[in-house]
């Protein structure tokens, strides 16, 4: 029985699971929000919260512990300098999991895991980028929409009638392809 055993195994060996979770936390620190399966998000959440707690402590021992877990100096620096200071008045619950529904290919439950304090920044930034890209593409002078060509006035009917009476050049009809391999005997070519 698995009483009092909290770690989520995710169908991996211990070393693979440790590397996976460390990479997920590094991606979360870098990108502020990651899309993953619900099981992985639930497994990443305690580790991410532990790293923020170490960052709030700020001691050299805490830095070394975080570096031993995540193994990327730039991520630990960003964690200690950016993410931990904005969570100083919060006593826990630094991340949130937002369920997205099922993945189309294999019906795995998907979710976003994101920092609670950074949610507004991400949404505003994404909305501004979409609007600016749309405006630039619509208003760019190099890619103006081609001007509408006005229809040419119709030719007089008597000219159209003479054009119809002119003989059209004859084109040869394509010959049907013959399949030589059907019904051929061994001695015939």
State the Cα–Cα distance between residues 184 and 85, nearest whole angstrom: 85
- Please report, in tens digits, the pLDDT of each residue of the chain (189 residues total): 889 988 889 999 999 999 999 999 999 999 999 999 999 999 999 999 999 999 999 999 999 999 999 999 999 999 999 999 999 999 999 999 999 999 999 999 999 999 998 756 555 566 666 666 666 656 555 555 556 666 666 655 665 555 556 666 677 777 776 666 656 666 655
Q: In this structure, is residue 39 part of a structural domain?
A: yes
State the Cα–Cα distance between residues 133 and 65, nearest whole angstrom: 42
Q: In this structure, is residue 61 part of a structural domain?
A: yes
Tokens of residue 121, six digits: 């920044």
State the Cα–Cα distance between residues 8 and 17, nearest whole angstrom: 9
* Domain CATH for 31: 3.90.1030.10
Residue 114 · residue 33 · CB < 8 Å: yes
Q: In this structure, is residue 170 part of a structural domain?
A: no
State the Cα–Cα distance between residues 73 and 68, nearest whole angstrom: 10
Residue 57 belongs to what domain range?
14-120
pLDDT value of residue 118: 79
> pTM score, two decimals?
0.62
Q: In this structure, is residue 177 part of a structural domain?
A: no
Number of domains making up the chain: 1
Q: In this structure, is residue 163 part of a structural domain?
A: no
Residue 6 φ then ψ, to 5°: -90, -25
pLDDT value of residue 53: 95
pLDDT value of residue 43: 96
Q: In this structure, is residue 184 part of a structural domain?
A: no
Q: In this structure, is residue 127 part of a structural domain?
A: no
Exposed e or buried b for every residue in 26-49, given b needs 16+ CB within 10 A? bbbbeebbbebbbebbebbbebbb
């Amino acid at each position: 029985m698995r009483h009092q055993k909290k770690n989520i195994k995710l169908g991996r060996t211990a070393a693979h699971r440790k590397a996976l979770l460390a990479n997920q936390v590094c991606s979360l620190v870098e990108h502020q929000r990651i899309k993953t399966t619900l099981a992985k998000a639930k497994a990443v959440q305690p580790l991410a919260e532990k790293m923020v707690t170490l960052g709030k402590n700020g001691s050299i021992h805490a830095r070394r512990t975080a570096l031993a877990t995540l193994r990327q100096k730039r991520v630990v620096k960003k964690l200690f300098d950016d993410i931990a200071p904005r969570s100083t008045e919060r006593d826990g619950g630094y991340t949130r999991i937002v369920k997205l529904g099922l993945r189309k290919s294999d019906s795995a439950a998907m979710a976003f895991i994101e920092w609670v304090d950074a949610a507004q920044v991400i949404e505003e930034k994404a909305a501004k980028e979409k609007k600016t890209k749309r405006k630039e593409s619509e208003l760019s002078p190099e890619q103006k929409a081609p001007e509408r060509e006005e229809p040419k006035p119709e030719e007089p009917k008597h000219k159209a009638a003479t054009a119809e009476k002119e003989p059209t050049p004859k084109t040869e009809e394509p010959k049907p392809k013959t399949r030589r391999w059907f019904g051929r005997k061994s001695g015939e070519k």
